[in-house]
Structure 1
Amino acid sequence: MNEYADLLIIGAGPAGMSAALAAASSGARIVVLDDNPLPGGQIWRDGPQASLPDQARQMRERLQANSNIRHHAGTRVIALAGAKQLLVEDADRGWLIGYDKLILCTGARELLLPFPGWTLPGVTGAGGLQALIKGGLPVQDERVVIAGSGPLLLASAATAKHNGAQVLRIAEQASAVAVAGFALQLPRWPGKLVQSFSLFDRHYRTGSHVVAALGNDRLEAVRLRHRGKIVELACDRLACGFGLIPNTQLGQALGCALDGSALAVDAWQTTSHTDHYAAGECTGFGGSELALVEGAIAGHVAVGNTAAARNLWPRRARWQGFAKALNSAFGLDPQLKSLAQPDTLVCRCEDVPYSALSGHVGWREAKLASRCGMGACQGRVCGGALQYLFDWQPTAPRPPFNPARIETLMCLDDTPPV
């Protein structure tokens, strides 16, 4: 079965939901694809132990109430199937979707940097731990250390504490001066100021980063460097994330240009590829408020309502200011590039250590020599780390973009030659 959309939206996080709702009044046939079971993305992830904000619930209800919006949950893009046509797959089937306009709201993923012991059971990303807890992972009475950079550390700690964990330390790599400077700017965004009070934790430390995870068969302790001194804490879990990386792979495959590590967009959220737009964290990290307004602008523009889009520019500029302050304050310290030791695994899928990569000049050469990035995750984890460590720019992905059934790939036989 094939399908057609006037407007196809990839991703049902805040940006994707906002884009669909902004475009809905036009009467256009709108299709939203997302790989999660329910709309909300990572920030509004649902689950047995999740507590969704009212805004997320209301937006979800509005999506369901619009008869011209169709939402495909648990669905992934597998390949390009010609001009303005994608091959997609869910748990039951694969099919082709053609479209007139497309909005990429593919979000971001955590930057995980390799350090000794980071592959031990009990070590996850900071956002990863939060998602696991929301999904039902029991952490009652467990000793947890959270390390890395950015406000996600505090949000992860709050989720862990709410579910009975004992948070021993929140180790923020940014300096006290940088964090204090950011805090002093928060009155410009009163909602964020209030939120910061609710997330405050007495175990929060600046100028502190992970050195190693210690243990044999699983995590037993973590070694931290705090303002030049080494500290070791016995713990059951370590959640470590160093910020976010925009998910640009599908945009790159479609031919959209990059601006640094994010998809490049103009004032109308238009990419370099005609009739293709992008919004949210795939265009750069700035929080849910920025994602919401960018999604609304893209949705309005995609259905020709440029006046409504332009009216949102001041709100976007306000939250772009927050994003700029956030990214400036939590920039990564160059000393984090030296965390990995020669025998530290960088590519976990293919067991490739740091020593096998440090002599190469780029992704392609490293892959040919070591198989780095050629395992199950297809470079989604090690790719971001190597971009930070060696400044290697990941290349556009080759299809299939995700594991797929043979029957799904056979749908490509139905596409006319380009």
Structure 2
Amino acid sequence: MKVDILIIGAGPAGMAAALAAAPSGARIALLDDNPAVGGQIWRDGPQAHLPPQVHEQRRRLAAQSTIQLLTASRVIAQAGPKQLLVEDAACARVIEYDKLILCTGARELLLPFPGWTLPGVTGAGGLQALIKGGLPVAGERLVIAGSGPLLLASAATAQANGARVLQIAEQASWAAVAGFAAQLPRWPHKLLQALGLWHPGYRASSHVIAALGDSHLQAVRLSINGQVKEVPCERLACGFGLIANTQLGQALGCRIEHNSIAVDNWQASSQVDIYAAGECTGFGGSEKALVEGAIAGHAAVGDLAAARHLWPQRQRWQGFARALQHSFALGEPVKQLATPDTLICRCEDIALADLREHGGWTPAKLASRCGMGACQGRICGAATQVLFGWQPPAPRPPFSPARIDTLLQLGQPE
């Protein structure tokens, strides 16, 4: 398959990039591993309530004859210069492109603590995804802990589906939260959003200590303003912010700065003809992702005037991103939640005590199998970055589990 522009990730950034590039007449492929476009923030499902903007974006994408949607598809490997091997449920194909736009988004940062592997404990964003996908939570008691506005959004989703949200524990201090709130009038839409999400159980300067239970979650031990409190509940959702999905960018040789793909004013990466936009270049919400995606799409087709016209709008939302990251930076207490016997790699049952003696990610992996399980280090790798400052190396193909017949295509001549 040959296209002019291949876009990896069909969240807000990817959708905006495709729509910005489409008027040029370029052949565009928009690829995502989800069954529908929208990314994690606009994830579809039987219990999802998507804003009208999403339906409009989808309608516009469907109306463009030059845009081909490749949903439920994953990138497996680099097949050659400007070629990626892609697999879906039915087949595999090599896609050759002239320009590549990475909109690979971000994933939740999960920090280990005692009991975090108990059934009933999920990520805050993970709980949202499960509920949108049809998970029944009506009548269940829920505690949410971690850091950032996602906690309030997750609570709102759970409450709308009948859950009883008992407590929201935000690790940032009250001063940091108040400082962030004082800046919100600069972005009126965000101010209204925050007011609509406010919950009486919200407590800053608070964090999870442990999840309690035998075969499943029964209670949560929290530190609330320095006071220890145990809350009986059926579910605990913890999220400590986001971490950019940079693996594909790393594998293609893109420069990584501050754990994100480094880009210039045109959203161009350090690699020729590879652009990046959205959360993989630094998280800051759907508004930032939309404008960055549009700039990347315009720049990829050479419409630099249209791209430059969007710079002030991008600067505005990058200001929001900086305020967000500064206010909800992780404090030391949540980096020290794990005890020596707390599992860090839950796929391979590797505890904190088994990792401390190693000086980096690669020695720990070789000695203990940490990161060699089903998630391929996506969870424990991010955790060890926070806990020990370890930097995982660039991933090697295959980037995702793949069928044998898919991998055989790598050895076939053109």
TM-score bracket, shorter-length normalisation: over 0.9
Query: What corresponds to 2:322 in structure 1?
Result: 324
Does 2:294 align with 1:296? yes
Q: Verify the 8 A CA contact 1:82 1:415 in the aligned structure 2.
A: no
Return the alpha-carbon distance in structure 1 between the equivalents of residues 391 and 333 of structure 2.
20
| Equivalent position of 2:396 in the other structure | 398
Tell whether 2:164 aligns with 1:166: yes
| Distance across 1 between alignment mates of 2:245 and 2:4 | 24
Tell me the distance in 1 between the aligned counterparts of 2:227 and 2:51: 40
TM-score, length of structure 1 as denominator length: 0.98
2:87 corresponds in structure 1 to: 89
1:413 Cα shift? Answer: 2.1
Unaligned runs of 5+ in 1: none
Decide which of 270, 273, 276 is 1:275's aligned counterpart: 273
Distance 1:394 1:64 in 2: 39
Give the 3-state SS of the residue equivalent to 1:147 in structure 2: strand
- Structure 1 contact 81–415 (Cα < 8 Å) conserved: no
How far, CA to CA, are the matches of 1:415 and 1:305 in structure 2? 36
Whether the 8 Å CA contact 1:123–1:238 is kept in 2: the answer is yes
Provide Cα deviations, 1:295-337, integer angstroms capped at 9, x if missing partner.
Answer: 0000000000000000000000000000000100000001212
Task: Give the aligned partner of residue 377 of structure 2.
Answer: 379
Q: Report the 3-state secondary structure (helix = DSSP H, G, I; strand = E; otherwise coil) of the residue aligned with 2:209.
A: strand
Distance 1:9 1:98 in 2: 12
Tell whether the 8 Å contact from 1:212 to 1:222 is kept in structure 2 after alignment.
yes
Shift of 1:414: 2.6
Q: TM-score, normalised by structure 2?
A: 0.99
Q: For 2:354, which of 356, 360, 366 is the aligned residue?
A: 356
Shift of the alpha carbon at 1:360?
1.2
DSSP-derived class of the 2:145 partner: strand
- Which of residues 336, 342, 349 is equivalent to 1:344? 342
Q: CA deviation at 1:251?
A: 0.3
**Residue number in structure 1 paired with 2:68:** 70
Deviation of the 1:260 alpha carbon: 1.4
Question: Residue 341 of structure 1 aligns to a residue in which SS?
Answer: coil
Q: Secondary structure at the match of 1:383?
A: helix
Post-superposition offset of 1:412: 1.1
| Aligned partner letter, 1:179 | V
Kindly provide the amino acid, as one letter, of the partner of residue 45 in structure 1: R
Hey, what's the Cα distance between the residues in 2 that align with 1:56 and 1:163?
Answer: 21
Structure 2 CA distance, aligned partners of 1:50 and 1:338?
Answer: 35
Q: How do residues 108-187 of structure 1 correspond to structure 2 at under 5 angstroms?
A: 108-187=106-185
Which among 330, 333, 357 is matched to residue 331 of structure 2?
A: 333
Match of 2:195 in 1: 197
The equivalent position to 1:22 in structure 2, one of 10, 20, 23, is 20
Please name the residue that 1:39 is paired with: 37
Secondary structure of the corresponding residue to residue 119 of structure 1: coil
1:139-185 per-position Cα deviation (integer Å, ceiling 9, x unaligned): 00000000000000000000000000000000000000000000000
Map of 1:265 onto structure 2: 263
Q: Which residue number corresponds to residue 220 of structure 2? A: 222
Is this contact kept in 2: 1:286–1:319, CA < 8 A? yes
Secondary structure, aligned partner of 1:43: coil
Distance 1:415-1:224 versus aligned 2 partners, 3 A rule:
farther
Separation (CA, whole Å) in 2 of partners of 1:335 and 1:365: 27
1:265/1:278 contact within 8 Å kept: yes
* Structure 1 residue runs of 4 or more that deviate by more than 4 Å after TM superposition: none
Distance 1:392 1:260 in 2: 13
Question: Could you list the runs of 5+ residues in structure 2 that have no partner in the other structure?
Answer: none
Whole-angstrom distance in 2 between the partners of 1:50 and 1:407: 35
The 8 Å contact of residues 79 and 401 in structure 1, kept in 2 or not, is answered as yes
- For 1:277 and 1:181, locate their aligned partners in 2 and report how far apart those are by CA, in whole Å: 34
Q: Secondary structure at the match of 2:271?
A: coil
* Alpha-carbon distance in 2 for matches of 1:188, 1:225: 32
SS of the residue corresponding to residue 306 of structure 2 reads helix
CA deviation string 1:213-263 (max 9, x = no partner): 000000000000112111100000000000000000000000000011000
Q: Equivalents in 1 of 2:358, 2:309: separation in Å?
A: 49
Structure 2 counterpart of 1:251, one-letter code? G
2-side partners of 1:179 and 1:4: how far apart?
A: 49
Task: State the Cα deviation string for residues 333-379 of structure 1 (Å, max 9, x = none).
Answer: 01212100000000011000000011211111000111000111100
- Partner SS state of residue 405, structure 2: helix
What's the secondary structure of 2:14's corresponding residue?
helix
- The residue type paired with residue 260 of structure 1 is H
The SS at the match of 2:406 is helix
Greater mean alpha carbon deviation, residues 223-232 or residues 113-122 = 223-232
In the aligned structure 2, how far is the partner of 1:27 from the partner of 1:11?
Answer: 20
C-alpha distance in 2, partners of 1:291/1:115? 32
Identity, in percent, stands at: 70
Inter-partner Cα distance in structure 1 for 2:62 and 2:345: 41
Aligned residues: 414
Structure 1 residues 415 and 147, CA, compared in 2 at 3 Å: closer, same or farther?
Answer: farther
Q: Distance in 2 between matches of 1:52 and 1:269?
A: 28
CA contact under 8 A between 1:122 and 1:218: conserved in structure 2?
yes
> By how many angstroms is 1:65 displaced?
0.5
2:362–2:392 Cα contact (<8 Å) kept: no
Superposed displacement of residue 415, structure 1: 4.5
Task: Give the secondary-structure state (helix, strand or coil) at the position aligned to 1:219.
Answer: coil
CA contact (8 A) 2:299 2:307 kept: yes
**Whole-angstrom distance in 1 between the partners of 2:90 and 2:375:** 22
Residue range with higher mean Cα deviation, 333-342 or 300-309: 333-342
Confirm or deny: 8 A CA contact 1:263 1:278 kept in the other structure. Answer: yes
Match of 1:247 in 2: 245
